[in-house]
Structure 1
Amino acid sequence: MTEWGQRMLKSTVRRSCQLSAESIAKDFQTSCGLQISTTAVCRELHGMGFHS
């Protein structure tokens, strides 16, 4: 994932931190137009320091 994508993902999570990975992926796809799987969302968030 690009740096821009990571920043968008991080802002999406910070805006609404209680969402599931599936809803984060759908929100990310809607706002950015990029396809991302729930597995990729989990992997990227773990890499950024977000857990659970």
Structure 2
Amino acid sequence: MKEQGQRMLKHTVRRSCQLSAESIAKDLQTSCGLQIITTTVSRELHGMGFHGRAAASKPYITKCNAKCW
């Protein structure tokens, strides 16, 4: 991917960070005509330092009294 494509990808992710890789690929394809697949989007974002979303809070798990295992 060229430098201009990387800039557009970074701009798209920062604008709306909740998009999936498939949505980002479609958005780049319609907005600037880049032919890109979702695997490339994921790989480029990971290389730029963007990683998958993590849960904001982890659910509290209590131990049950019955034998669960």
Q: TM-score range, shorter-chain basis?
A: over 0.9
CA distance in 1, matches of 2:30, 2:13: 14
- Unpaired segments of 5 or more residues in structure 2? 53-69
Task: Report the TM-score when normalising by structure 2.
Answer: 0.74
* Deviation (angstroms), 1:34: 1.2
Question: After TM superposition, what 4+ stretches of structure 1 lie above 6 angstroms from structure 2?
Answer: none
Structure number having the greater helix percentage: 1
Return the offset for 1:30. Answer: 0.6
Confirm whether residue 5 of structure 1 aligns to residue 5 of structure 2: yes
Unaligned runs of 5+ in 1: none
The size of the alignment, in residue pairs, is 52
Of the two structures, which has the highest relative contact order with CA contacts closer than 8 Å and spacing of 6 or more? 1
